[in-house]
Amino acid sequence: MKGLKFCTLVLSAGMLLSSCGGNMNNTGKGSLIGAGGGAALGTLIGTLASNNKGKGAGIGAAVGVAVGAGVGALIGKKMDKAKAAAQQVENAQVESVTDANGLQAVKVTFDSGILFNTSSSALSSNATASLAKFASTVLNVNKDMDVAIKGYTDNQGWKNSTAAQSVQKNMDLSLQRANSVSNYLKQCGVSSTQITSVEGLGEADPVADNSTAAGREQNRRVEVYLYASEKMIQEAQAQAGN
């Protein structure tokens, strides 16, 4: 019986998620996730999101509560506005993702080739202009959203280094670049408490084929995630309950 219930739940979740067409905004998606919700479905969606590497995987600490339709819609509406603002930032690639609570989040990707010179973690002038606008028009007007920053590289080796040494050097460089982005955003007024994590993941989670120059360029990137803080979720729950 438990197996049947679980299969039914999985099927329902699949139908629910697949019904979210490309034209549906985050408000609609959030409401739909909440309406199908309850603790069990919320847990399942969170698990699926955590397994979806590179698409917001593991972003946010699960709050361990059911997400209702009203909460999902309220947070989705805010994420829609943040996404629209981020799309106005030059050199930013913006998409909607799902956080660990099954709620809508925003992923902003910056190409490392634009942010940095080869093998460097010093920000270029183009990078500082884009990041300054990102801070002022997105992060500083959405202080109730938490931020996670992840740096990545391609899988190319370093001169005069072993394979293992190259992997470590790529890991170190990705962290240095993620920290450069984090530190500059703080200089632009973003609170250090809003940036909840800064990671360097090196060659992990490639988004393109490392065997081609175009693919390697896509893999060299810094990703910035905006997701609902626990406070934001609590406020949405209180608002939805009124």
Q: What is the pLDDT of residue 241?
A: 78
231: tokens are: 């406070």
Q: What is the pLDDT of residue 107?
A: 97
**Residue 193: which residues within 8 A CB-CB, separation 6 or more?**
none
**Residue 196 host element (H or E):** strand 195-200
Q: How far is CA 70 from CA 65, 186, 187, in A?
A: 14, 33, 36
Q: How far apart are CA 90 and CA 174, in angstroms?
A: 22
Q: What is the pLDDT of residue 144?
A: 94
pLDDT digits (tens, 9 = 90+) for 35-77: 333 333 333 333 333 344 445 657 887 766 666 778 899 999 9
Q: How far apart are CA 108 and CA 92, in angstroms?
A: 6
Q: How far apart are CA 87 and CA 93, in angstroms?
A: 7
Q: How far apart are CA 174 and CA 153, in angstroms?
A: 6
- pLDDT below 70 — which residues of the chain? 1-57, 63-67, 242
Q: How far apart are CA 101 and CA 64, in angstroms?
A: 8
Q: How far is CA 66 from CA 34, 72, 164, 233, 237, in A?
A: 8, 10, 44, 11, 10
Q: Number of helices and strands (H, E) in the chain?
A: 9, 5
Q: What is the pLDDT of residue 25?
A: 54
Q: How far apart are CA 204 and CA 173, in angstroms?
A: 13
27: tokens are: 């408000």
Q: What is the pLDDT of residue 16?
A: 37
